[in-house]
Amino acid sequence: MKRYLLLLAIFVASAGAAESPQSLEERIAKLEEKLEEFEIDKSYDRLHVSGTYINYLETINATSKNGTTGEKVAENGEIMSMHVALNFDVNINKNIDFFTTLAMGKVWNNDGREGEEQGSYRSYQGSYAYAGSTARFDVAYIRWRTDEECWSFALGRMTTRGGPPMNQLDALSRNGTYPRFGYNAIFDGLAVVRDFKAILPKDYSVKTRLFYTPTFQLDSRDRSAPAQDVDGNAIDRRSNQLTWLNEFERSNTSFAKKISLYSMLWYYDKFYDAEYQSSTREGVEYYRALSHSLYLGFERIAGSGTNFSWSNLRVNSKSDGGTLNHSDAHLFNLNYTFASEHVVGVEQIFTDRSFYIDDWSYLQFNDFYQRPSSSGQHVFGAISFPHRQVLRLGVYQYRAKVNTFAGYDSKQTTQNFYASYRIDF
């Protein structure tokens, strides 16, 4: 079609030249202008721009009691923040796409935060560190797909945060790839995905994903030198991390509109963390873990708006010189989505003494999803407005025990109310 329009433009320009004298340079300049307009239109066809804008208010209401001294400390106040993300997705050709998200997260009128001091954790947080008005790339990866779309390969900074059931809080489609209770952090790496949908019966979907994430420990000022611990010992430059996610989905059953069962194995070794170094043992101590996340979700149960999911996280972890630790934690989510896309729901969490999750990219100002030896509820309601606007109100309330193993010497009671305004465009 554009080719015909170009020929028509040439014809009109030629006809116009016969009626009014024009120089050859003027006619060429006009034709080049038309061609540039066509090229711009073609570029817009390949580029898709979208975004998310969130303003967030949370009240802090927590009481801690030291397990040894009995001293009580109360925290009260309010905090406001904003998070904005712009997505630029480029279709390079029928087999290659590029995805990127440029985002900023900050506390209102507070640019002094630096987030976690260690570089790897800063990377895992991205814009969710609330580290000021500087924009960060939370997503930046390229994806290759075969013609049949049964195989795909990806390289870069991927959508490893915000996985299910997090999207259901605001009645959204699935955003993040990996279950939220598996990990909720931003990782760089390379991935291969096999989609078996083409060889399965209708309403069945099976995918397997393999994701490799190397973590590198380098000197903060000399890129050619490895990082060192406080005693001057060199740290291994590379730590290996491997994730294997298998997804099974069945749609249009008599029990639920959609049933999802995800199994995720995650292993990493030789990971260095300054907080896990023993003061009585010489040399560098590395941390390694093998975890399994199981996600079982039911959407629109019995033709209603009821959604339910259960997430289970089991972790076997060990540091050099330490003993093997086992953890078993649970997250339940029950919500009802109305035809108007309003949502009411509740989450229930149970964590044990050795619980740990890589959860670095979140908006709330409490550790509901991260705190070991705790149990509690997250009660929420979301109101949808025209033009993809969502106002969500909720409360995080939980009790956490003393846990000297994880560095918590006080028990804590938290009841934080919040309001979140979000618009997707």
In a shared domain, residues 302 and 316: yes
pLDDT of amino acid 37: 66
Q: What is the pTM of this model?
A: 0.87
Residues with pLDDT less than 50, the chain:
2-8, 10-13, 15-20
Split into its structural domains, the chain has a count of 2
Diameter of the chain by CA atoms? 98
What SS3 class is residue 315? strand
Same domain, 13 and 74: no
Please, are residues 394 and 379 in contact by the beta-carbon 8 Å criterion? yes
pLDDT, residue 28, reads 66
The pLDDT score that the predictor gives to residue 31 is 67
**Do residues 141 and 168 share a domain?**
yes
- Is 33 in a helix, a strand, or coil? helix
Instruction: Say yes or no: 40 and 165 in one domain.
Output: no
Q: Domain check: are 19 and 64 in the same one?
A: no
> Whole-angstrom Cα distance, residue 134 to residue 105?
8
Q: Assess whether 87 and 199 both reside in one domain.
A: yes
Range of the domain at 37: 9-45
> What letter would DSSP give residue 234?
B
What three-state secondary structure class fits 406?
A: helix
Distance, in Å, from the CA atom of 240 to the CA atom of 24, rounded to the nearest integer, reads 64
Query: Which H or E element spans position 266?
Result: strand 256-272
Evaluate whether residue 2 is within a structural domain.
no
pLDDT of residue 311: 98
Q: Alpha carbon of 91 to those of 21, 47, 48, 52, 154: distances in Å?
A: 43, 6, 8, 21, 14
Q: Is 402 left (phi over 0), alpha (psi -120 to 50) or beta?
A: beta
